[in-house]
Chains A and B, each alone.
Chain A
């Protein structure tokens, strides 16, 4: 059972469209990371959020941490084929020594 639930599981959109991926949990996290993973490779860290309500922007990517630190979202504006990949959210808790619990991931495909 995944501690973090991601939705949707799959997302296929046309280049130029926007998309949002959600990461939800019933547990509170001290920090939440978003990773992108390509087939046959390890996850690459995109961002870390630690404060409830925090919003971080990375070029066309916007990450938000929920006020209660139980959920997060990733929004991509004007998606490009290079955004294609598996997006994973992972939460860490200070009480658990920051070991990461991952969601199952959202597979994003951006068609040219």
Chain B
């Protein structure tokens, strides 16, 4: 078990560009969560999946954001037409529903929009 992994760890982009992040959860974890963390704040919930089904999207997630988990394993988070306000740490977490509700986090992807 290698834990939750995220790629890339850092991304610098220009305003208006599209970016995509990947999250690989702990194997066999059926729940996958995305959070966003800005400086001086705790993580804020964005969306989550149970297997391949997206169960909820936060109001923080504008139409420019889309997340998928096509085969119930890894997930991608895409941001279209990035804005400077999108600069943040994007965190992924996974859990095994039915066994434990504890969420285990990946190292995050730090996005900087210039």
Contacts and interface: CB of A to CB of B under 8 A. Distances in A.
B74 interface: no
Interface in A63-112: 88, 90, 92, 97-105
Nearest to A33: B102
A105 B44 CA distance: 12
A35 B106 CA distance: 13
Contact of B108 (A35, A41, A88, A97): A41
Contacts, number: 58
Interface in A1-57: 2, 4, 30-31, 33, 35, 40-45, 48
Contacts of B35: 100
Contacts of B55: 97
Interface residue tally on B, bucketed by range: 20 to 34
A42 B108 contact: yes
B42 A88 contact: yes
A40 to B, nearest CB: 7
Interface string B98-114: 00011111111010000
B101 A2 contact: no
B41 to A, nearest CB: 5
Contacts of A100: 33, 35, 43, 45, 103
B32 interface: no
A99 B33 contact: yes
Nearest to B31: A98
B51 to A, nearest CB: 14
24 contacts: A2-B41, A4-B42, A30-B101, A33-B102, A41-B108, A42-B93, A42-B106, A42-B107, A43-B43, A45-B103, A45-B104, A45-B105, A90-B43, A92-B101, A97-B56, A98-B101, A100-B33, A100-B43, A100-B45, A102-B44, A104-B40, A104-B41, A105-B41, A105-B42
